[in-house]
């Protein structure tokens, strides 16, 4: 587990997988229904690019959400995210299933969450992260509290920080 003396490089070194909550992390947490009862979510484009860069670097990315919806399936498909677990209020058992499916251990996982259901996973992985506007208890459980709010580039901030710490962020810059 990271300590105050740990460097980003030493923290990032074992991380091979990011598992992300959706509402309040990949979105701003608002759930909007139209007049026909259709739910919509807003995802940040920079988060999407960050996820793609993380996976292009050879690492795994998974989604774990207590809620279930087609918007998440569609966004995951657009980004090429293979591992999506939705509809799990008890997130730790679902996270263990994702570890098995991905082929990783908790010591290799970074989990980003924003509220009480996320804390069980946050307490058991190598790196727990929360957006700036996460619930107080989630922020207190996090090793890193990001500057960005959920749905406003928090996932991108996390990915960029990890890839910089691993020394591979520069590989993705188009300097031509």
Would you kindly state where each structural domain of the chain is located, as residue ranges?
8-166
Backbone angles phi, psi at 2, to 5 degrees: -60, 145
Residue ranges with strand state E in 31-149 = 32-33, 39-40, 60-65, 83-86, 109-112, 127-130, 144-145
pLDDT band, very low/low/confident/very high, at 171 (cuts 50, 70, 90): confident
More confident residue, 4 or 105: 105
**Tens-place pLDDT, residues 98-108:** 999 999 999 99
HSE (CB half, 13 Å, CA atoms) of 118? 32
- As a whole number of angstroms, the longest Cα–Cα distance in the chain is 53
- Checking if the pLDDT of 128 tops 60, the result is yes
CB atoms within 10 A of CB 116: 13
**Tens-place pLDDT, residues 144-161:** 999 999 999 999 999 999
CATH class of 8-166: alpha beta
pLDDT of residue 1: 65
């Amino acid at each position: 587990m990271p300590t105050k003396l740990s460097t980003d490089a030493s923290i990032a070194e074992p991380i091979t997988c990011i598992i992300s909550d959706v509402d309040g992390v990949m979105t701003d947490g608002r759930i909007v229904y139209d007049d026909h009862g259709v739910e919509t979510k807003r995802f940040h484009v920079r988060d999407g690019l960050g996820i793609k860069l993380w996976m292009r670097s050879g690492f795994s990315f998974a989604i774990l959400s207590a809620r279930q919806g087609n918007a998440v399936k569609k966004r995951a498909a657009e980004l090429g995210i293979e591992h999506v677990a939705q509809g799990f209020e008890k997130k730790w058992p679902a996270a263990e299933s994702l570890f098995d499916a991905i082929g990783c251990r908790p010591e290799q996982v970074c989990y980003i969450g924003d509220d009480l259901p996320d804390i069980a996973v946050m307490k058991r992985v190598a790196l727990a992260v929360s957006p700036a506007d996460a619930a107080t208890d989630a922020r207190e459980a996090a090793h890193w509290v990001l500057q960005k709010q959920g749905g406003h580039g928090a996932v991108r901030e996390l990915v960029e920080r990890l890839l910089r710490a691993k020394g591979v962020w520069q590989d993705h810059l188009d300097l031509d």
